[in-house]
């Protein structure tokens, strides 16, 4: 079957929709760093007409002010299935990942909202990297790897996808550059669904705790400094319960607070705080402190 012609910029949109799953028009425009709103709207309209992308858009009076949400449609998936990256690597989109995109139309609102929030986090990290340089030459920059990235079997961090319990939404790399060198900190972020029952929340928290103390990260990467775990809970009550459980897990493992390793960090916030502020704001709670990443 011959696919319809799409421009290079429209191909970029399809790649973004694969990476982030669901994006609104504003996010697409910001990720493309494009100033012309009308051009973005025209490209998206053309992609919909060519069945490369589909949208979620309400004509309800109260909902009309919200930007439409876009996701991959049939011809967009077919285009990516045939796409080969031009960097000489021979890289293609993984078949298993493309198969999941056929089911996007049936995704829950919870899944869609989480995808949009993750995209907002990525945009915040990009903006923070662009504006962090000081007069003294010090700077902070962020890079990130999405779940769609590391799910690729050829990706260097595919081991995250192979873990039996964990599935972080983002892997974040923070680099502090100062006159005396640089310090890199790794983060694993997971946003828990509001539909996840309490026993599943407990299981996931314990799985992250075990991941840190058993040295899985070091075994996979050779880095003896484990990542900071960032967990986003749907309700404040869930967060409070998680803080109690992590204290118990720490004391059960180490008996005395003085015995706890200094590089073991699990931080908590709520979905509401993350939405209202940003991923880099001091919204993360750890051992009675509120800090930023």
DSSP character string of 211-241: HHHTTHHHHHH--SSPPEEEEEESSHHHHHH
Which string of b and e fits 120-157 if b means at least 16 CB within 10 Å?
Answer: bbbbbbbebbeeeeeeeeeebbbebbbbbbbbbeebee
If the chain, 293 residues long, is cut into consecutive pieces of 10 residues, what is the mean pLDDT of each piece?
A: 88 98 97 94 97 88 77 97 78 93 95 97 92 67 96 94 92 89 93 93 94 91 92 96 91 71 90 96 87 85
Contact in structure between 16 and 23 (CB atoms under 8 Å):
yes
Cα–Cα distances in Å, from 226 out to 172, 212, 239, 265, 285? 13, 6, 22, 9, 18
Q: Which helix (H) or strand (E) holds 186?
A: strand 181-191
pTM: 0.92
Q: Cα(17)–Cα(98) distance, rounded to whole angstroms?
A: 11
Q: What residue spans in the chain does CATH classification 1.10.10.10 cover? A: 8-107
Position 132 scores a pLDDT of 59
Whose CA is closest to 259, among 269, 246, 250?
Answer: 250
The 3-state DSSP class for residue 84 equals strand
Q: Cα(248)–Cα(65) distance, rounded to whole angstroms?
A: 46
Whose CA is closest to 17, among 36, 31, 33?
Answer: 31
Position 251 scores a pLDDT of 84
Whose CA is closest to 167, among 158, 179, 175?
Answer: 158
Position 2 scores a pLDDT of 80
Class of domain 8-107: mainly alpha
- H-only helix segments in the chain: 8-20, 25-31, 37-49, 74-82, 95-101, 109-131, 147-150, 159-162, 198-213, 216-221, 236-254, 271-276
Cα–Cα distances in Å, from 34 out to 41, 93, 115, 168? 11, 25, 21, 29
Sheet harboring 23-24: ordered strands across? Answer: 23-24, 69-72, 53-56
Give the sign of the dihedral formed by CA 96, CA 102, CA 107, CA 112.
positive
């Amino acid at each position: 079957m011959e696919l319809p012609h799409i421009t290079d910029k429209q191909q970029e949109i399809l790649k973004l929709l694969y990476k982030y799953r669901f994006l609104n028009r504003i996010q697409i425009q910001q990720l493309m760093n494009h100033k012309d709103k009308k051009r973005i709207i025209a490209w998206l309209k053309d992609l919909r007409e060519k069945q490369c992308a589909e949208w979620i858009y309400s004509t309800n009076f109260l909902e009309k002010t919200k930007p439409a949400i876009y996701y991959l449609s049939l011809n967009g998936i077919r285009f990516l299935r045939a796409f080969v990256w031009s960097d000489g690597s021979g890289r293609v989109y993984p078949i298993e990942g493309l198969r999941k995109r056929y089911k996007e139309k049936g995704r829950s609102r919870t899944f869609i909202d989480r995808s949009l929030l993750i995209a907002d986090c990525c945009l915040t990290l990009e903006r923070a990297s662009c504006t962090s340089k000081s007069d003294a030459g010090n700077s902070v920059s962020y890079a990130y790897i999405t779940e769609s990235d590391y799910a690729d079997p050829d990706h260097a961090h595919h081991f995250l996808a192979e873990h039996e319990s964990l599935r972080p939404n983002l892997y974040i790399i923070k680099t502090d550059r100062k006159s005396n060198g640089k310090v890199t900190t790794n983060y694993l972020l997971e946003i828990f669904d509001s539909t996840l029952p309490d026993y599943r929340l407990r299981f996931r928290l314990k799985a992250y705790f075990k991941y840190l103390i058993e040295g899985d990260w070091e075994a996979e990467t050779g880095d003896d400094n484990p990542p900071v775990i960032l967990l986003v809970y749907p309700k404040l009550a869930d967060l409070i319960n998680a803080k109690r459980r992590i204290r118990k897990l720490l004391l059960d493992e180490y008996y005395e607070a003085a015995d706890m390793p200094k590089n073991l960090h699990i931080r908590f916030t709520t979905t509401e705080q993350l939405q209202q502020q940003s991923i880099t704001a001091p919204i993360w709670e750890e051992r009675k402190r509120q800090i930023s990443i």
